[in-house]
Amino acid sequence: MTFIGVNTCIIQNGKILLTKREDFEIWCLPGGAVDEGEPLAQAAQRETREEIGLEVELVRLIGVYSQISMPSFVWYISSFAARPIGGELRPDPNEVLDIAYFAPDELPEDLMLTHRQRILDAFANHPEPAVWTQWMNSPFPEGITRADIYKMRDESGLSRSEFYRQTLGRVEGMRLVRDIPSPLPDAAQNPKGTSNFHV
């Protein structure tokens, strides 16, 4: 199953705004899935408004992130720096339990696994967007739905955050590759080089 999504990174006074998700009780960036036919920028603004009540102006594209979690999911995420221009900071209780600002060296332990790199890129302020590919071993079979995962969560006997850590939050087999900007010499200097490196 393939998804297209967006995030917004709102940084004020050296801290980034994160939301605590209702479904897994972990922290993450505001954002979500792009509706069919919806432009990415409009989706980022809509998701931010719906989740936390703020109208935002998108300042720049931070990065593009491919999350390959086979055989279950493939996500393509665009992450934008955003500046509040209106609205009132107010969480949607159906999706968000809490809102808080965090310094880069004080990020919460219960943080959505794939969001850490996006947050680091937001603070790094690269001159051009970063492009990353992340491979993960999915704990779920092909064809599983969000409703199926929530049913497993509710029947697991675990807290919501612990269920996330033991399934979607597992790092075993994870591989993260930066495609752009390349830390290596370009092809003209190193014809046999590659623009990828592993971290």
CA 19 to chain centre: 12
Distances (CA, A) of 54 to 12, 17, 83: 14, 12, 9
Q: What is the pLDDT of residue 59?
A: 97
Q: Compute CA distances 101 → 14, 82, 94, 151, 182, whole Å.
A: 9, 14, 20, 31, 30
CATH number of 132's domain: 3.90.79.10
Please tell me the pTM assigned to this model.
Answer: 0.86
Average pLDDT over residues 69-80: 87
% of the chain with per-residue pLDDT over 70: 89
Q: What is the pLDDT of residue 137?
A: 83
Q: In what order do the strands lie in the sheet with 197-198?
A: 31-33, 2-9, 73-87, 54-70, 130-137, 175-180, 197-198
**Domain range enclosing 171:** 2-198
pLDDT tens-digit readout, 101-118: 999 999 999 999 899 999
Segment of 64-68, 83-87, 144-148 carrying the highest mean pLDDT: 83-87
More confident residue, 190 or 63: 63
Mean pLDDT of the region 1-6: 92
Amino acid 183: pLDDT: 52
Number of domains in the chain: 1
Average the pLDDT over each of 33-42, 60-69, 132-141, 150-159 and give the range with the smallest value: 132-141
Q: Is the pLDDT of residue 1 over 90?
A: no
